[in-house]
Structure 1
């Protein structure tokens, strides 16, 4: 896969938040405590009860510290250290040590990595794990490191994304005429086109109100997000389209090269455990939530979505529309599909 050069304007993507400047620890020495232990910051955007936090970030902290290799981790969740663009820039500058980021957001610094968030590019969470363990996956991560100077500790799926609306969405034709909220990143907007949706950009924080007021007709998110935002109060139908995995990468600044080999091994092992735990937690949370919804009257859950029609249309569109390194990543992922 063609190597790309580092982006010299990376740090101009966003102003580093003030909190990040104090998050590196004591004494301005990158977080080394007086007893010789190394303190690392771990930032993310999730609430404490979401799988990425309780089964991901919290487990990484617990396992790293239990390894007793002189590493401590301080967690800053719920976007305390800034939004996605802010935190990516802070990781690149070394003001945040570890961050949990969506692949599409990381496309701002290396576009091909955003293909991990492409519609139907992965068959399921197992396919993601297979790809990440493959030579093809290693090549994608190596290219990302070369381009952005950011180390990747691991990746997990935080669940598939599904549509909600005030009418069922069973086929691509059912999206016609609907204003569907998608995140504003280039990859999400390309996904909307691939799926046949009329994308409307709305900030996540404004999603509930926009649905309530009719500014948009529908939206798409993982089950855990749909539940946490109480969208059943403002939508009638949940259509299980599973059109995209919510792929998170656990990324690390150049501090990776400053910690010892023993500490690197402890970090890697902790993230591997968290990848498994998040996958299990997401599956358990989704099963429990769907069981509750099916037995109640908050939603009508639509199970008979024509996933094959959506997937065929999306993959054909992406294959025709992507170019250069992004197309190579797309083809590499699909080559590992069973």
Structure 2
């Protein structure tokens, strides 16, 4: 073989190697094209994840989480599938939280009250009357204060908070009217398995009874508890109006839940997959926010006009009296959790 042929072969080899190097310079995620020649996702192996929660199929959070799954699938060209398991199919909220910690649950939507058992300072989210309205709570739970509170869970339990979803104000439901603070005395009220919720109703003179959400309906039927408190959509979509006669618009807690992923799972995903999931949860948050904000008054009217529930409005004076009665709980959290500055910051955030 003469020198000209050798030189030509060498040039062709260099060009081929350069082309291959450029074509694979995307961090190990090959860029593919679909049948129409359009650029598609660089994720080369299908990713399947599960997300558990305790909400009903018709609830705003479930609809938002289904939207989240659909958005992820679309953005990844079907390469990432997140299967949603509602209504405690994967266990109650405490089970889900422990599964996230152990890495046996991929993703979950869990109330911040239950997560107080893993990060005690999250209990400030559930202090009665600490949030003025939905805009106020959003500035906290999805802002820099929230980020500071979630960081220890990532470091200590390996649980990554992706987004907080607002659930709306919680009201009181019972079979006897309870529009005043004095009406709460000794009443057995079902509450989530949260120290802050227990403390709230203790401070208001009631007898709080922690139990999983799935046990509530039969507990009201059988008289295990006399009352419960929750946001309006749960009463409507889970037919809880069937076991109550009265609703009191206490608005004592503006509740939130956290959409979380096990870090053991998330850290193994390709960067592109992580980016897609993070983008999709932002869009799903907007779906949830819209459903909650627009649905609350409609739910109240449904309970009053269609389901025969008598709605008792709490006056500003009564609400102030309730807030004053709960001051001892604020003092307890400020002292025991060194959360005084945190509480002040939340209350003074505009």
Q: Distance in 2 between matches of 1:68 and 1:295?
A: 45
Q: TM-score scaled by structure 1?
A: 0.81
Residue 293, structure 1, aligned to residue 306, structure 2: no
1:88 is paired with a residue whose SS is helix
Q: Which string of whole-angstrom CA distances, capped at 9 and with x for unpartnered residues, describes residues 69-124 of structure 1?
A: 74221222222222222221221222222110111211222222233233222222
Residue 280, structure 1, aligned to residue 290, structure 2: yes
**How many pairs are equivalent?**
302
Q: CA deviation at 1:333?
A: 2.6
Q: Provide the residue aligned with 2:322 in structure 1.
A: 310
Q: Distance in 2 between matches of 1:214 and 1:51?
A: 29
Distance of aligned partners of 1:96 and 1:239 in 2 relative to their CA distance in 1, 3 Å threshold:
same
2:252 is paired with a residue whose SS is strand
Q: Distance in 1 between matches of 2:323 and 2:101?
A: 35
1:49 is paired with a residue whose SS is coil
Q: Which string of whole-angstrom CA distances, capped at 9 and with x for unpartnered residues, describes residues 195-226 of structure 1?
A: 33222345433433333343433221111122
Q: Distance in 1 between matches of 2:89 and 2:307?
A: 36
Q: In structure 2, list runs of 5 or more residues that go unmatched.
A: 1-42
Residue 220, structure 1, aligned to residue 234, structure 2: no
1:42 is paired with a residue whose SS is strand
Q: CA deviation at 1:258?
A: 2.1
When Rg is computed on C-alpha atoms for both structures, the one with the higher figure is 2
Say which of 61, 70, 81 aligns to 1:62: 70
Q: Provide the residue aligned with 1:27 in structure 2.
A: none
Distance of aligned partners of 1:147 and 1:113 in 2 relative to their CA distance in 1, 3 Å threshold:
farther
Q: Distance in 2 between matches of 1:36 and 1:205?
A: 37
Q: In structure 1, list runs of 5 or more residues that go unmatched.
A: 1-33
Indicate the RMSD between aligned Cα atoms, in angstroms. Answer: 2.3
Q: CA deviation at 1:283?
A: 2.9
1:110–1:147 CA contact under 8 A, matched in 2: no
Say which of 29, 38, 45 aligns to 2:47: 38
Q: Which string of whole-angstrom CA distances, capped at 9 and with x for unpartnered residues, describes residues 218-242 of structure 1?
A: 2211111222343333322111111
Q: Provide the residue aligned with 1:324 in structure 2.
A: 337
Q: Distance in 2 between matches of 1:83 and 1:209?
A: 16
Q: Provide the residue aligned with 1:11 in structure 2.
A: none
Q: CA deviation at 1:264?
A: 2.2
